[in-house]
Structure 1
Amino acid sequence: MGNIIKRSSRDLVIDSAKSLKDGPSTELHTKLYKAIMQEDCTMIKALLRNHPINEPIIIQAESTRYRPLLDQQTYSIIPIHLAAEFRKAQSLLCLLEYGADPEVRDPSGLTTLHLMLLHWPITSTTWTKPGNRIHRILTDIRNNDVTCLRILCEHGAQVNAQVENSNKHSPLHLAITYGTYSVLSILSQNGAHVNAINQSGMTPLHMAAAILNKDMMETLIACGANVNCVVSSTGSTALKLAVCTAASKAGRLLEAGVSCIRLLLIHGAKVNVQDHKGQTAMHEACFGGTEEIINLLLEFGANVNILTRNGESPIYRFLQRSSNIRDTALLTRLLYRTYPLRLTNDQRILPVGIRLPEFHLLRKTLVKLSQKPLSLEDICKRNIRNIYGEKYKHYLKQLLPTKVWNSVYYCYDLAYLLK
């Protein structure tokens, strides 16, 4: 099986400088580099008789464009890393069959699989016409990428090995970070832990939700991702992360965000989970003031009366921003689901937005409303709205007399308060 060195991966990297100094000539390294890039397996095997397979080779700057750096004349790389990064499938298979260790790490703490994911090319064919030359080329590249990944997995690559740096990303985390959507199912099929956590306590689904990547989210959920797993450091769920990101978007980006949020809710995301600060997805949605997101959360039973650890309700968060307050229709909808109405937090401080002079009349009116106890009838109406939400609003219309239904769901217009 060739000249295989029985040493640990870390020792190989630490001692790489000594190995290179005492190892084969520069000419041998250059020939091995070219053989790998040209996928000349016969030459690779011949050259490896004189070079330890798991130790780096030195590449001269004038002989290759590999990793061109301004102030370096030579570069070093382990043969299997070279084959993996450049998707040389035949060379990769040849090296593995000859005894290459897929778990040997580079100085950054990356395995062969890590490096493959970091250098995964973006080859989307959605913008090309099916069947044309560019489409065929991109399809071939994508298929070759997948072939290399499968070869690596079939020859013992550890699909749960974490990167040895501060992030502690698993291969699935790397796939999310670098947008390599197509590898998620392959890694999962080969034993990748879909609910693995990194140094920050985030799962791959948390990361996909935070960037609103629906394709990745769908794949991870299909592979068994826990939609209610919380980030250990913050207590956030994938739902809260998705709402936080989507609430700052508009247009198509907002539409995509709403789609991601709905996906999580349909697959069982708990809408009223509180993070370490006591905030829920509705607190985030109300602060963002995005009607589409608020309506969607209400449809799935979001509670607008939950308080944070600082005593802030969702409507308190809504009133923090003047742009939200001007949306009187949405403000009214929230007010008629809120009881008791708390306009201050535990420090008895009013929201910043409502303290602006332009909202003097509204502030005065809301303070009066917060001090006035509701009748039993009004409390019952609020409870019906909160229990059945928007989702079953029209179902109730079929069951209740028209007059009763109108009294439950009728909301007064507060627009006159802003004039």
Structure 2
Amino acid sequence: MGNITKRGSRELVADGAKPLEEGPAAALHIRLYEAIMWEDCAAIRVLLRSHPVNRPMTILANSDSSYRLLLNQQTQSIIPIHLAAKHRKAQSLLCLLEHGADPEVRDTRGLTTLHLMLLHWPIISTTWTKPGNRIRRILTDIQNDAITCLRILCEHGAQVNARVDNSNKHSPLHLAITYGTYPVLSILAQNGAHINAVNESSMTPLHTAADMLNKEMMETLIACGADVNRVISSTGNTALKLAVSTASSKAGRTLAAGVNCIRLLLIHGAQVNAQDHEGQTAIHEACFGGREAIINLLLEFEANVNLLTRNGESPIYMYLQRGSNIRDTELLARLLHRSYPLRLTDNHGILPAGIMLPEFYLLRETLIKLSQRPLSLQDICKRNLRNIYGEKYKGHLKRLLPVKMWHSVYGFHDLAYLLK
């Protein structure tokens, strides 16, 4: 069963807040608070004659069911429209907007009404086909209330591209991705949100979603026009490289979910051989991670295993950095089968750290000899065919070539044979 999670729900405490003396102002704040929470629009309209709609109310910090102001209690300030949005009170929100509430008014953290709504969005399972019991129905109703409030805000001029006034400079779309508010993406896009907006780190919402391996959000963003090949200006990373980097550190079901995210990007045109500012590609990242499923997928989409980084590191060099990778001799053989010329050192002549381990002494010596041995013209042709057609089109090539020739190109040889 899903659950509701309130992100960043720490209440805003007004600077220098002091215990509020009971009196006319305190009573007015109590009544307005209660009217908003109970969605008593008639009472809200009356109370707004005495309380400016965009002026903060002072209430007890962390108050739940009790809205009374008591002496010697810590208080907090909250603007009426922020209260209605935070608690998804659609009727109160609409009433306040109709009486001049400014959706762009910010709290002391630099958050607008829309930002606060996204930070307090109810998170429930996205896998339910339909609510199956009373609790699920309640949770679904809560989320529907949030969607209603979001639509009301958008219809009344909320700036869907207003950035949070802090060091991150997140747009509403970035906030939606970060806090898992999946249903809001298409609504924000329909109301003019810039789908390729960048935050302070030059990351678009798709970069953020790919880095988190959130396939549902990635699908929605791509459907709304997200650029799958947009580059992060500071690093040169693409969404594909971020997804590969994150997925390479996962295992089990999380790894499978990561592979699906990578495939989604590749199917929608992600450039598999795009290089970042250091010259690394997705296959460099995948080889360092050593996850066979990711490496195979990138090879299926024609990843080039012979590209070098600015420091002269090949994908096979990255693979040989880690001892755990080297022990998978079958995958190592497959990579060696595609690598020509075999580059074992970087620009400084340094060998990968993994094969410098004592247990790999014989393998290291064999690989060094193999890298120094020129290939025959036949072997070079085979490698070129594998690199041109890759795994993706080998079935098509099988229909064109004689069976014996195809097996000589794609037939698997174990590591012992390759390293003779």
Quick check: TM above 0.5? Answer: yes
What secondary structure is seen at the aligned counterpart in 1 of 2:387? helix
The offset of 1:410, in angstroms, is 2.8
Give 1:325's aligned residue: 326
What secondary structure is seen at the aligned counterpart in 2 of 1:156? coil
Cα deviation digits, residues 57-78 of structure 1 (max 9, x gap): 10135965699xxx96111000
Whether 2:381 is the aligned partner of 1:386: answer no
Whole-Å Cα distance in 1 between the matches of residues 394 and 296 of structure 2? Answer: 12
TM-aligned CA distance change 1:402 to 1:226, over 3 Å:
same
Q: CA RMSD in A?
A: 2.4
The offset of 1:81, in angstroms, is 0.2
Give 1:296's aligned residue: 297
Unpaired runs of 5+ residues, structure 1, are 1-12
2:106 corresponds to which letter in structure 1? R
Whole-Å Cα distance in 1 between the matches of residues 86 and 36 of structure 2? Answer: 11
Cα deviation digits, residues 254-279 of structure 1 (max 9, x gap): 11000000000000000000011111
Give 1:53's aligned residue: 53
Whole-Å Cα distance in 1 between the matches of residues 87 and 63 of structure 2? Answer: 16
TM-aligned CA distance change 1:60 to 1:362, over 3 Å:
closer
Whether 2:100 is the aligned partner of 1:99: answer yes
What secondary structure is seen at the aligned counterpart in 1 of 2:284? helix
Whether 2:279 is the aligned partner of 1:278: answer yes
CA contact under 8 A between 2:84 and 2:92: conserved in structure 1? yes
Give 1:122's aligned residue: 123
1:52 corresponds to which letter in structure 2? P
The offset of 1:347, in angstroms, is 1.0
TM-aligned CA distance change 1:62 to 1:359, over 3 Å:
closer
Cα deviation digits, residues 69-122 of structure 1 (max 9, x gap): xx9611100000000000000000000000000000000000000000000011
Whole-Å Cα distance in 1 between the matches of residues 265 and 259 of structure 2? Answer: 10
- Percent identical among aligned pairs is 76
CA contact under 8 A between 1:153 and 1:190: conserved in structure 2? yes
Give 1:79's aligned residue: 80
Whole-Å Cα distance in 1 between the matches of residues 60 and 243 of structure 2? Answer: 47
Whether 2:257 is the aligned partner of 1:256: answer yes
2:190 corresponds to which letter in structure 1? Q
Runs of 4+ in 1 over 6 A off after TM superposition: 13-18
Give 2:370's aligned residue: 369
The offset of 1:376, in angstroms, is 1.8
Give 2:38's aligned residue: 38
CA contact under 8 A between 2:60 and 2:73: conserved in structure 1? no
Give 1:140's aligned residue: 141
The offset of 1:412, in angstroms, is 2.8
Whole-Å Cα distance in 1 between the matches of residues 62 and 227 of structure 2? Answer: 50
TM-aligned CA distance change 1:40 to 1:338, over 3 Å:
same
1:379 corresponds to which letter in structure 2? I
Whole-Å Cα distance in 2 between the matches of residues 62 and 261 of structure 1? Answer: 43
TM-aligned CA distance change 1:222 to 1:147, over 3 Å:
same
CA contact under 8 A between 1:325 and 1:353: conserved in structure 2? yes
TM-aligned CA distance change 1:62 to 1:169, over 3 Å:
closer
CA contact under 8 A between 1:124 and 1:138: conserved in structure 2? no
Give 1:26's aligned residue: 26
How many residues in Structure 1 have an aligned counterpart in Structure 2? 401
CA contact under 8 A between 1:123 and 1:141: conserved in structure 2? no
Whole-Å Cα distance in 1 between the matches of residues 385 and 224 of structure 2? Answer: 37
The offset of 1:126, in angstroms, is 3.9
The offset of 1:131, in angstroms, is 4.2
TM-score (norm 1): 0.91
What secondary structure is seen at the aligned counterpart in 2 of 1:75? strand
2:331 corresponds to which letter in structure 1? L
The offset of 1:135, in angstroms, is 2.3
CA contact under 8 A between 1:125 and 1:138: conserved in structure 2? no
1:33 corresponds to which letter in structure 2? Y
Whole-Å Cα distance in 1 between the matches of residues 53 and 164 of structure 2? Answer: 22
CA contact under 8 A between 1:84 and 1:115: conserved in structure 2? yes
Give 1:7's aligned residue: none
The offset of 1:285, in angstroms, is 0.4
Unpaired runs of 5+ residues, structure 2, are 1-12
Q: How is 1:172-211 mapped onto 2 (pairs within 5 angstroms)?
A: 172-211=173-212
Whole-Å Cα distance in 2 between the matches of residues 379 and 25 of structure 1? Answer: 85
Whole-Å Cα distance in 2 between the matches of residues 153 and 406 of structure 1? Answer: 61
The offset of 1:409, in angstroms, is 1.6
What secondary structure is seen at the aligned counterpart in 2 of 1:181? coil
1:167 corresponds to which letter in structure 2? N
Q: Which structure shows the bigger proportion of residues in helix conformation?
A: 1
CA contact under 8 A between 1:80 and 1:100: conserved in structure 2? yes
TM-score (norm 2): 0.91
The offset of 1:248, in angstroms, is 1.0
